[in-house]
Structure 1
Amino acid sequence: MRALIVCTNHTEYKTKSEKTGLWLSEATHFYDELSDNELPYDIVSPKGGKVPIDERSLKRKDNTNDKWYHNPEFRAKLENSLKPEEITPSDYQLIYFTGGHGTMWDFPDNERLQAITRQIYESGGMVAAVCHGVGGLLKTRLSDGSLLIENRQITGFANIEEKLLGLTDEVPFLLEDELRKQKAVYRKSIIPFLPFIEVDERLVTGQNPLSARKVGKKVMEEMFEK
């Protein structure tokens, strides 16, 4: 068993000078659940190399962030992420797309990541994503040409959450709208920013940053307890 964690390389908004990147807790809280099972893992990003961290996610008091951000192995994997071309999909039984606004630019059109996702899924593996990272599944097609997420129960960052952050005009698209366009059966929490996940067989998605741990827990339950 091995897990592949996908992170963004993108830092720029359309007009804001503030930088984006990986929302750190979406990697650390998820991995914290995997670490209990001592699951080996790799980190990959569209370009490979250093994964930028959204500074706002570093400013929050978060013991899990502190634990893993200062863990030499985890930090080294973030600083030296693999390129998609270096990945052998058959090595992995799980792929997980982290979020952060940067993912909206460099996840959806990455055909190599789509191919890796397809191969892991079609080999019986799990596919998971959280928050904006769910955008990495928007265009993934299975071998029969159908979209992975079509008619599947999915969640992801909601329009109302983007609006409340004041970033609706800063992003290339609204994730909730695009998921609906791809005929995903989109659902969300009644109250914004609360943990919420959707599970559709081997596909587990979380709505927002606080959902990352819940996604990790569910994935581990599906992989180890069934």
Structure 2
Amino acid sequence: MKKVLIPVTNHATLGSTDQANGTYAPELTHVIHVLNNNRIAFDIASIEGGKAPLYGTDIAEDEVNNQVLGDESFQTQINNTVPMTQVNMSDYDAIFYPGGFGLLSDLADNDMVGKLAAQHYESGGIIAAVCHGPAALLPITLSSGEPLLASKSVTAFTREEEVDFGTINDIPFLLEEALARKAAKYSKVQPWNELVIVDERVITGQNPASAHAVGEALVKQLAKQ
């Protein structure tokens, strides 16, 4: 059975503000929904382990989000995430980073997780991310000394979407700019439209609207392994 590691943030606020944050639930739940439908197993991990902060858990019209959030086994996993120090990367076929602003404050510059992801990628693993999730690709340096991003085409949450969402002044850094400076190519479409870029074994999605399609692209890549 294929298995995906899902690292989530431990950071519970938007940057250094006191606004409740963490992982944006629909970007996690919509991908998990696709994994469940394709009988692909997953573990949820975080740098520190334990209960992971979620927001976007009360979107009435999002049936998929509500269904996954209401699942007892999901609740057990999100409330008891595996510490990344206890993760054995050889157990996994892919890594998926969901978005939310929280990870801009921890996974975006965590060298330990970056090293694990580099080992995983170099041993043939897949890396997928959506919205702010691609921030977790920033600290991934390959054994050649090259950043993973240096040869990759990616997308992620855009400057325009930060402006629309009212977060442009509170984020720790602008993800679009960080990726544009480090990646071989950064692309985007109109705010809030779906965009998924598959560059070999790296899959990225622009925003929440892209989460389902990132899940589908991940399943397709896993089938090729």
TM-score by length of 2: 0.95
Q: Which residue of 1 aligns with 2:75?
A: 75
Aligned partners of 1:57, 1:32: CA distance in 2, in Å?
A: 15
- Deviation of the 1:183 alpha carbon: 3.4
Count of aligned positions: 224
Alignment of 1:1-226 (within 5 A): 1-14=2-15, 16-54=17-55, 56-189=56-189, 191-224=190-223
**Structure-2 change in CA distance of 1:15 and 1:81 (3 Å):** closer
- Aligned letter for 2:70? H
What SS does the aligned partner of 1:167 have?
A: coil
Q: CA deviation at 1:60?
A: 4.1
Please, which runs of 5 or more residues in structure 2 have no aligned partner? none
Distance 1:68 1:14, change over 3 A: closer
* Separation in 1, partners of 2:178, 2:168: 14
Paired AA for residue 23 in structure 1: Y
2:113 & 2:137 partners in 1: Cα distance? 9
Q: Which structure dedicates a bigger proportion of its chain to strand?
A: 2
Q: RMSD of aligned C-alpha atoms?
A: 1.4
Alignment partners' CA distance in 1, 2:224 and 2:216? 11
Shift of 1:178: 0.2
Give CA-to-partner distance per residue, 1:32-60, whole Å, 9 cap, x none. 11112211110011211111111x44234
Shift of 1:16: 4.4
Percent identical among aligned pairs is 35
3-state SS of paired residue (1:108): helix
Query: Deviation of residue 71 (structure 1)?
Result: 0.8
Kindly tell me: are residues 114 and 184 of structure 1, through their superposed partners in 2, closer, same or farther at Cα, counting changes over 3 Å? same
Q: Decide whether the 8 Å contact of 2:15 with 2:102 is kept in 1.
A: no
Structure 1 gaps, min length 5:
none
Q: 1:225 offset after TM fit, Å? A: 5.2
After TM superposition, where is structure 1 displaced by more than 3 Å over at least 4 residues in a row?
14-17
